[in-house]
Structure 1
């Protein structure tokens, strides 16, 4: 059994996120991918919109893919700062020691993973599947580079046979869409058609989201 989680802020959830989620299901050959929205990150101020709005937009975004994409709201429901290592320790305890658990993150997130709380312990509870970004030039330091040399695997079957402990890079086609650019466009009154699913655009406009962000 393999459980895969796609983590991120999803502020807002956009077509690029949806495209990656759909491709991860196929690439990892899994029955279900869970979207894992970040709770309160310890390294940044609160989000510009509520957790409820972020969660609602994810629900809207995946409504046509519910047979293979769902939501894990553990971090959003947790009180206080969210730490990936604590989340995946919880999931490991919940599902047992034999299940393969995979956390899927973007390559940009990998660049700063050594700033995460107890980051080295994360692979005691799960694998990492890193979604490579076309044209992305990594600037990771020696600490992360050495860690990758030790933990990286090239065969996806290893992630499914082992319960935790490895890092795998997924080469997926990606849409060049940024949540921060969407927020900026909305604040400046620019169009953002085609960047988010139509129903999410309607939701953002209906609830006047991101118009007054700093």
Structure 2
């Protein structure tokens, strides 16, 4: 099957409907040969995670199966047992796929807001394309260096599907704004908005007694 390999990384603590919406949006736009979900092992910019790697992977599989969105769970960051840096992951996937394979990394606007704090962030473009689901006008709020880099690298969907790396793309029609921290807070209080989680994920969280006050 032709098309790029599409990656979506994150802590997924827990996976919520914003993650699903982002994955679905770029799956529909890019028609990837494969959608890989890469749960973080030890995310260096965040505190300790609540759910275990096994629980986060279980929730991911439940959520994507519920939405009938085929995925491959790629657990390389968990196996690494070291701080998770996106550049290391992209280099690892690039080495696996080869230099000519189109590779696309999807993120939400909250991640892009912090991109200039990521390790070797400019080197990300050497390994793959970066695509962002964001609200209209969001690009103007970025750090100047990130804004400049994204604007000069703008690519078409066709280029993202065929070129190996180096492009950027804003999809300004992702109308889902959900933060995992807000979902966890709602679960802790016992009043999480059910529209933020797939029912099977909420059931799993309750069965595992996750995100409750200690």
- Structure 2 length normalisation: TM-score? 0.90
Aligned 1:137-148 pairs, distance under 5 A: 138-148=140-150
1:169 is aligned to 170
Cα distance in 2, alignment partners of residues 119 and 173 from structure 1? 24
- Residues 146-196 of structure 1: per-residue CA shift (max 9 Å, x gap): 21232222x111112210111111233333333211111111122432321
Q: For residue 9 of structure 1, what is the aligned residue in structure 2?
A: 11
- Do the aligned partners of 2:15 and 2:63 also contact (CA within 8 Å) in 1? yes
1:212 positional shift: 2.6
Match of 1:126 in 2: 128
Task: Tell me, yes or no, if the aligned pair for 2:24 and 2:69 is still in contact at 8 Å.
Answer: no
Task: State whether residues 41 and 79 of structure 2, in contact with CA within 8 Å, keep that contact through their aligned partners in structure 1.
Answer: yes
* Corresponding residue for residue 185 of structure 1: 186
- Are residues 1:195 and 2:196 paired? yes
Q: CA deviation at 1:134?
A: 5.5
RMSD: 2.0
Corresponding position: 1:42 with 2:41: no
Q: String of CA shifts for 1:8-41, please: whole Å, max 9, x gaps.
A: 2211111222222222211112243112222211
TM-score (norm 1): 0.90
Select 1:26's aligned residue among 20, 25, 28. Answer: 28
Residue in structure 2 matched with residue 69 of structure 1 by the alignment: 71
Q: Distance in 2 between matches of 1:156 and 1:133?
A: 18
In 1, Cα distance between the equivalents of 2:80 and 2:133?
A: 26
Give the match for residue 210 of structure 2: 209
For 1:89-134, what per-residue CA distance to the aligned partner results, in whole angstroms no more than 9, with x for missing partners? 0111111011000000011211110100111111111110111135
Partner of 2:96: 94
Distance (Å, rounded) in 1 between the aligned partners of 2:112 and 2:64: 25
Secondary structure of the structure 2 residue equivalent to 1:5: strand
1:118, 1:7 → 2: CA distance? 17
For residue 107 of structure 1, the aligned residue among 92, 106, 109 is 109
Q: Deviations over 1:44-80 (max 9, x none)?
A: 2221221111111001111245663232211122111
Residue 136 of structure 1: how far off its partner (Å): 4.8
2:69 and 2:146 map into 1 onto residues whose CA distance is 36
| Contact 2:34–2:71 (8 Å) recurs in 1 | yes
- Alpha-carbon distance in structure 1 between the residues aligned to 2:150 and 2:138: 17
Aligned length: 212
> How far, CA to CA, are the matches of 2:192 and 2:92 in structure 1?
41
Q: In structure 2, what is the Cα distance between the partners aligned to 1:85 and 1:95?
A: 15
**Could you say what secondary structure the match of 1:62 adopts?**
helix
